[in-house]
Amino acid sequence: MTTFKERPATATEAPARYSIAQVLEIFADGRLPIRFTAYDGSSAGPEDAAFGLELKTPRGLTYLATGRGDLGLARAYVAGDLEAHGVHPGDPYELLKALTDALVFKLPPPAVLARVIRSIGVEHLWPIAPPPQEAAPRWRRVAGGLRHSKARDAEAIHHHYDVSNRFYEWVLGSSMTYTCACYPRVDASLDEAQENKYRLVFEKLRLKPGDRLLDVGCGWGGMVRYAARRGVKALGVTLSTEQASWAQRAIATESLEHDAEVRYGDYRDVTENGFDAVSSIGLLEHIGVRNYPDYFTFLQSRLRPDGLLLNHCITRSDNHSEGSARGFIDRYVFPDGELTGSGRIISEAQDVGLEVLHEENLRPHYALTLRDWCANLVDNWDDAVAEVGLATAKVWGLYMAGSRLAFETGGIQLHQVLAARADEEPDASDLPLRPWWTP
């Protein structure tokens, strides 16, 4: 542990300039759980620390000084100005955990802060162009349309999902499923856990041969193909051109064309109705909290009387936090993404007339899913970097490892909500007295 303390200057002593490492110690209150080194030759933190960060360039200092929250660190890291030691860039989980467990930043007294500014130089306090992987700030995205308009949603989906199908194959594995898996056992494989998740959704929706399923935000068509293999006529829609083309090829490869279809388009453009069930697996995060009433109303309108809806999405741990994501997640991962608590989701579903039958939290399962995705990225690192570039690969490693930590600590959760279209006299004769499925 470092123990830097502010040393008062005497009346005749010129104000000293802090080194970069001393500045970090001041903000960390002298408690650094990792080793930090900087291009000015300074260092801080335990010399024998298992993990470290190296600030390599003045540009990186500017990113750190001007980026609010985690955005400055992300910019410096993605651009190569800040290097992590002791972890693989495809899975920096252990370093992030060390920082989260022990590091708390404090604002120093005004006099010390003034000396910090003089030490780092005012030239480092003017923002500079971010790495090209960063999305525009929200105020500039209005040029693409109002938030959650069809055009702007399409652009947000393109930013995240149209990276490269080959890249996703290396990260997600053979299931090509980019949503939380459901592990039947701690030692289950990722593919087994994803297959089990589809089974869980299928059984919750009480699907049977001859039924019709609408899967909104269908990704690469995993749920569509799972249902079609079991005699269900399944239609999926996605706003990602890359996902749609991959899913259409997969359907043809399995000769499922009679029962399975994946379209490129907005779910709001689906004209068919009378579906026995609707599944929404990982779409609500992109909808916008204010749009929940329209979202649930539309999905309800696609269902036959007494049809079932399964909504599977990431949630916050409370219902009052601001929905909009900020910092690294908004600018590098999910532009315009919004999360809220499961209580808000259930209330919105009920308020449009849906009857909520069941809900559960699969939070620990998403931590395991992200662990396995990071392991896949590490195993395929060289190919992934060759495909999408080092900076983009680093974004994914940082994002998935950080998300794993957030799921483990409960900062974010994963909820499945099962609801039915409630008509004047709902027919519950074929519903079990209680759910028969298990995670």
Cβ-count burial 18-35 (b if 16+ within 10 Å, e if not): bbbbbbbbbbbeeebbbb
Residue positions counted in the chain: 439
How far apart CA 70 and CA 328 sit, in angstroms, is 6
Sign of CA dihedral 189, 191, 193, 199: negative
DSSP secondary structure letter of residue 2: -
Backbone angles phi, psi at 414, to 5 degrees: -135, 115
How far apart CA 314 and CA 179 sit, in angstroms, is 9
- Residue 242 CA neighbour count, 13 Å, CB half: 15
How far apart CA 133 and CA 136 sit, in angstroms, is 10
Sign of CA dihedral 72, 75, 79, 84: positive
Q: Could you report the per-residue pLDDT of 155-201, keeping only the tens digit for each? A: 555 545 557 899 999 999 999 999 999 999 999 999 999 999 999 99
Q: Could you report the per-residue pLDDT of 63-108, keeping only the tens digit for each? A: 999 998 899 999 999 999 999 999 999 999 999 999 998 777 888 8
pTM of the predicted protein model: 0.90
Domain range list for the chain: 20-125, 150-421
> Could you please report the per-residue DSSP string of 171-190?
HH-TT---S----SSTT--H
Q: Could you report the per-residue pLDDT of 4-61, keeping only the tens digit for each? A: 444 444 444 434 789 999 999 999 988 899 999 999 999 999 999 999 999 999 999 9
101 three-class SS: helix
CA angle 110, 70, 65 (to 5 degrees): 45
Domain 150-421 belongs in CATH node 3.20.20.70: no
Q: Among residues of the chain, what percentage have pLDDT more than 90?
A: 77
Q: How confident is the model at residue 144 (pLDDT cuts 50, 70, 90)?
A: low
